[in-house]
Amino acid sequence: MSATLPLPATGYADANGRLCAERVRADFPILGREVHGRPLVYLDSAASSQQPRAVLDAVERYVTTTHANVHRGVHVLSQDATAAFEGARETVRRFINARSTREIIFTHGTTEAINLVAQAWGGAQLRSGDEVLITHLEHHANIVPWQMACARAGATLVAAPLTPNGELDVEAFAALLVPRTRLVALAHVSNALGTVLPVADLIALAHARGVPVLLDGAQAIAHQRVDVQQLDCDFYAFSGHKIYAPTGIGVLYGRESLLAAMPPWQGGGDMILSVAIERSTFNELPWKFEAGTPNISGAIGLGAALDYVDTLGRERVAAHEQMLLQIATARLREVPGLTLIGTARDKAGVISFTLAGIHPHDVGTILDREGIAIRTGHHCAMPVMTYYGLPATVRASFGCYSTAADIEALLAGLQRVREVFA
Amino acid sequence: MEIRDLYRDVILDHNRSPRNFGRLDPADAEAVGHNPLCGDSLSVTVRFEGDRLSELRFNGQGCAISVASASLMSEAVSGRPLGEVEALYREVHALLTEPAHVPGIPLGKLMALAGVREFPARVKCASLCWHTLHAALTRPAHPSAAPAVSTE
Ligand SMILES: Cc1ncc(COP(=O)(O)O)c(C=O)c1O
């Protein structure tokens, strides 16, 4: 059973092959709503993206026709549910070009995926005196699990510094790769600054020293083609809800040889082959790391979301978001008192900024009254904020349904902010 | 609810020119408050004369609502008996959280905060300074062990 509905594969590109965002918007029911009597302008996709009809329909169809527990029953529903769930795993495999579905572990999100590696891999591999190398622009989800794993092992967490425009200082990173370094864990794209890290180079540097690399792909997966074989990363983590799927589902990709050598992390049903009171034998990959009943409908929604993105065309979506980034960067630079935070040469569709004399929280409240949803705060990346000496920034971020009109609405909203604080 | 019900002139004025900004050194009591949602923190230092709060200064970074609220608080409590400060603390809390609360004691300029309760995401911004003051008053200062409070 296929987990996705057929889509009219037409109308998503204009005559020049560019993404037709108006057509895309029609697929997202929530974009039709109003907020405080204004049309919703959703510029917070980096926090969580919205879900298209294709995803909602796939989930509803599964729930209304197929749902049962997976990997258990002889009855039709259970077999079909298992086929749909494992079909979604194959969709994920294809989407990120993993070698095998044994390398695709469903989690409830990026955070759980990183914790899985920190506990299972870290628990087995980290020793007193070892180092784990991260960067100063990580999300807390790629900091705290390593702090905990290092504390348990007596290892040290080391963070490579940034340059003033929000890029990773690659020379400093290379210098911090030392014989004690046991693992590198990096954001593929920074959620606070939008910086795209030169991950291919960084992975090559780490591999030259025999150090495996985990990529936190939460902010990358929806916005550029991710091919784990081409990247040659050892682990890749991402969340469904940042790529138009429901919340509560995510993925850990792991190189099979590494996953096979890792002990399980949670025990329970599904992750075992047999259990006696004295001992159990663990299931094969990937189920060894999926204890308990999984988020079946979430996985099916994720499969549908990935198919949807491929229907739009990943390169097309990426080009669209780059165009919006350029427009927004140019337009925001015209706003008096506005400072862009994070001006890396290679950026994704994320723009952080501050307004002189106006706290981001106030900006957020006033924009909200205009129907504009943006994020304010430290973006769960407090070390980045500390680096810039800021408590918070305002962040606008784009998805496949974002338009130049959204940016103009943001500009008008910022004008309103400046009037209130005039 | 219009945005100007939140950002009233009094609020904007106290944000622009906060009263009693800074630190009292030495102080008779102090506390630090954090609003993890926006990463803001605020310190409050106070001096007593008998059972009166004679002076208060606050310090820190924050949004317009939190700065104005702290500035208004500093004016409202300075020179008051501690019992009245405690009563104000309870009244302001009710003003910020209870729909259509009618204050039991005159709140004066603090009434400028009445619009905040229509903006639930901002209530903590306005109440942080009051919780911090409350913490300072319920435990006297030891410079190394100032109580820390959080709105979360
Ligand atoms: C870079 C990055 N890493 C990790 C996460 C955590 O993702 P989740 O909360 O879905 O587990 C996020 C979410 O904001 C993120 O942006």
Average pLDDT over residues A153-164: 98
pLDDT at residue B140 tops 70: no
Q: Which carries the bigger pLDDT value, residue A95 or residue A268? A: A95
Same domain for A338 and A286, yes or no, is no
Say if A7 falls within a structural domain: no
pLDDT digits (tens, 9 = 90+) for B92-121: 999 999 988 888 899 999 999 999 999 999
Whether residue A383 lies within 8 A of chain B, CB to CB, comes out as no
User: Catalytic residues of A, which ones?
Assistant: 380
pLDDT digits (tens, 9 = 90+) for B50-75: 999 999 999 998 999 999 999 999 99
Q: Give the Cα separation of A291 and A108 in Å (integer).
A: 12
pLDDT at residue B1 tops 90: no
Same domain for A132 and A190, yes or no, is yes
pLDDT at residue B142 tops 70: no
Crossing angle for the helix pair A404-420 and A314-333, to the nearest 10 degrees = 30
Among A35, A140, A359, A417, pick the best mutation site for testing chain B contact (most B Cβ within 10 A): A359
pLDDT digits (tens, 9 = 90+) for A358-394: 999 999 999 999 999 999 988 899 999 999 998 899 9
pLDDT at residue B38 tops 80: no
Q: Give the Cα separation of A54 and A306 in Å (integer).
A: 10
pLDDT score at B128: 95
CATH number of domain containing A231: 3.40.640.10
Helices vs strands, H then E, count in chain B: 5, 5
Could you report the predicted ipTM of this complex, rounded to two decimals?
0.89
Cβ contacts from A onto B, under 8 A: 49
Same domain for A178 and A77, yes or no, is yes
pLDDT score at A120: 98
Q: How close is the Cα of A373 to the center of ligand 1, in Å? A: 18
Q: Give the Cα separation of A249 and B104 in Å (integer).
A: 50
Say if A1 falls within a structural domain: no
**Shortest CA gap B138–chain A (Å):** 28
Say if A6 falls within a structural domain: no
Helix (H, G, I), strand (E, B) or coil at A251: strand
Residues flanking ligand 1, CB < 6 Å = A 109-111, 139, 141-142, 187, 191, 216, 218-219, 239, 241, 380
pLDDT at residue B41 tops 90: no
Which residues in chain A touch residue B124, judged by CB atoms under 8 angstroms apart? none
Of A365, A377, A378, the CB nearest to B122: A365
Nearest residue (by CA) to ligand 1, atom 9, is A111
Same domain for A299 and A282, yes or no, is yes
pLDDT score at A41: 98
pLDDT at residue A1 tops 50: no
Helix (H, G, I), strand (E, B) or coil at B140: coil
How many of the other CB atoms lie within 10 Å of CB of A252? 26
User: A169: exposed, middle or buried (C-beta count within 10 Å: 0-12, 13-18, 19+)?
Assistant: middle
Which residues in chain B touch residue A386, judged by CB atoms under 8 angstroms apart? none
pLDDT at residue B39 tops 80: no
How many of the other CB atoms lie within 10 Å of CB of A10? 7
Q: Are strands B148-150 and B29-35 parallel, antiparallel or unpaired?
A: parallel
pLDDT at residue A142 tops 50: yes
Average pLDDT over residues A277-292: 93
Inter-chain touch B39–A362, beta carbons under 8 Å:
no
Say if A3 falls within a structural domain: no
Same domain for A254 and A327, yes or no, is no
Question: Which of A137-141, A267-271, B77-81 is the least confident region?
Answer: A267-271
Same domain for A149 and A258, yes or no, is yes
Inter-chain touch A361–B7, beta carbons under 8 Å:
no
Average pLDDT over residues A78-105: 98
pLDDT at residue A8 tops 80: no
The candidate with the shortest Cα–Cα distance to A405, out of A48, A36, A10, A43, is: A43
Domain boundary among A310, A345, A370: A310
CB A106 within 8 A of CB A289: no
Inter-chain touch B39–A376, beta carbons under 8 Å:
no
Q: Which carries the bigger pLDDT value, residue A336 or residue A271? A: A336
Say if A9 falls within a structural domain: no
Which residues in chain B touch residue A377, judged by CB atoms under 8 angstroms apart? 37-39
Whether residue A43 lies within 8 A of chain B, CB to CB, comes out as no
pLDDT score at A6: 46
The total number of structural domains in chain A stands at 2
Domain boundary among A294, A310, A326: A310
Residue A239's φ and ψ, nearest 5 degrees, are -110, 140
pLDDT at residue B31 tops 70: yes
Domain boundary among A259, A294, A310: A310
CATH number of domain containing A409: 3.90.1150.10
Same domain for A186 and A238, yes or no, is yes
Same domain for A263 and A364, yes or no, is no
Which residues in chain A touch residue B40, judged by CB atoms under 8 angstroms apart? 361, 391-392
Using an 8 Å CB-CB cutoff, list residues of chain B that contact chain A: 2-4, 6-7, 12, 37-40, 61-65, 119, 121-122, 125
CATH architecture of B3-150: Alpha-Beta Complex (3.90)
pLDDT at residue A187 tops 60: yes
**Shortest CA gap A405–chain B (Å):** 23
Same domain for A317 and A376, yes or no, is yes
Which residues in chain A touch residue B3, judged by CB atoms under 8 angstroms apart? 365-366, 369, 416, 420
Same domain for A110 and A28, yes or no, is no
Predicted confidence band of residue A3 (pLDDT cuts 50, 70, 90): very low
Inter-chain touch B3–A420, beta carbons under 8 Å:
yes
Q: How close is the Cα of A416 to the center of ligand 1, in Å? A: 31
Same domain for A233 and A322, yes or no, is no
pLDDT digits (tens, 9 = 90+) for A215-253: 999 999 999 999 999 999 999 999 999 999 999 999 999
Inter-chain touch B63–A362, beta carbons under 8 Å:
yes
Inter-chain touch A421–B125, beta carbons under 8 Å:
no
pLDDT score at A269: 87
Q: How close is the Cα of A340 to the center of ligand 1, in Å? A: 22
| Residue range of the domain that includes A361 | 21-51+313-420
Same domain for A302 and A321, yes or no, is no
Q: How close is the Cα of A138 to the center of ligand 1, in Å? A: 10
**Shortest CA gap B93–chain A (Å):** 21
pLDDT score at B146: 52
Average pLDDT over residues A64-75: 92
Whether residue A145 lies within 8 A of chain B, CB to CB, comes out as no
pLDDT score at B150: 62
